[in-house]
Amino acid sequence: DQQVKQNSPSLSVQEGRISILNCDYTNSMFDYFLWYKKYPAEGPTFLISISSIKDKNEDGRFTVFLNKSAKHLSLHIVPSQPGDSAVYFCAASVTSGSARQLTFGSGTQLTVLP
Amino acid sequence: EAQVTQNPRYLITVTGKKLTVTCSQNMNHEYMSWYRQDPGLGLRQIYYSMNVEVTDKGDVPEGYKVSRKEKRNFPLILESPSPNQTSLYFCASSPSRGYNSPLHFGNGTRLTVT
């Protein structure tokens, strides 16, 4: 049973418009959330994160929103650029014993069309 | 350049033939981890290590071994590979397991077991 779900395997957006990538989770104990971006033939790279005590975090063109009551987070990219075309993974973190456990979603392939 | 280096990038082997995928990081990170990425399943953790000589199972440890004899290296060992271990593998590291320690990933090893 996947605790972190990205229900859209793919998303296409026109250059300059907003990209919205969604992520749902089931474990209410998750207290930290991250987004990673992955280009082909490379490893994922960290993009942005948010603590559960916040509902929004912004970094340039990237904003992550967290709705704890709905157990939902989203990544907004404004404006979208062709270089943003990649697979985006959301991840959720919780403390388990002495370690923090990180659970990833299945990823969303974003294609930004020029 | 700060990086996580995995070798080899591509590996084709036969069932039962022992193999090792190496991982090395030059950032003096305490925490290292191995993930596998499969279609529709995202990144799943195989094993992780909090520090030298400290390793623990992740979500999918069956069929894998690891060792952490020195801080920079964290090899993944498949004693008797099987076709269901055909996957894309990523090694990752971070300074610690804290909130502000996003993972740094290697570029991946694509393994095919026939």
In chain B, which among 14-53 make CB contacts under 8 A with chain A? 35, 40-45, 48, 50
Positions in chain B short of pLDDT 50: none
A18 phi/psi in degrees, rounded to 5 = -85, 140
**Alpha-carbon distances of A72 from A40, A77, B10, rounded to whole Å:** 27, 17, 36
Predicted confidence at residue A10, as pLDDT, reads 96
Chain B hits for A32, CB-CB cut-off 8 Å, are 99
Interface with chain B: mutation pick from A31, A32, A47, A106, highest number of B CBs within 10 Å = A106
Residue with token string 């990219």: A77
Q: What is the pLDDT of residue A98?
A: 64
In chain B the beta strands, taken as DSSP E runs, fall at 4-7, 10-13, 19-25, 31-38, 42-51, 54-57, 65-66, 76-78, 87-94, 104-105, 109-113
Task: Find, among A100, A106, A108, A105, the residue nearest to A25 by Cα.
Answer: A105
Beta carbons of B108 and A41 less than 8 Å apart: yes
Q: Is A42 on the interface with B (CB under 8 A)?
A: yes
Could you report the per-residue pLDDT of B38-65, keeping only the tens digit for each? 988 889 999 999 889 999 999 999 999 9
Q: Note the pLDDT tens digit of each residue in A48-91.
A: 999 999 999 999 999 999 999 999 999 999 999 999 999 999 99
Give the residues across from A108 on adjacent strands. A88
pLDDT surpassing 70 at residue A20: yes
Option in B50, B99, B106 nearest A32 (CB) = B99
DSSP letter at A3 equals S
Interface residue A81 vs chain B (CB under 8 A): no
B103 touches chain A (CB under 8 A): yes
CA A64 to chain centre: 8
Asked if residue A31 has pLDDT above 60, the reply is: yes
Strand pairing partners for A13?
A: A112
CA distance A68 to B18: 45
| Burial class for A98, CB neighbours closer than 10 Å (0-12, 13-18, 19+) | exposed
pLDDT tens-digit profile of A90-109? 999 987 666 778 899 999 99
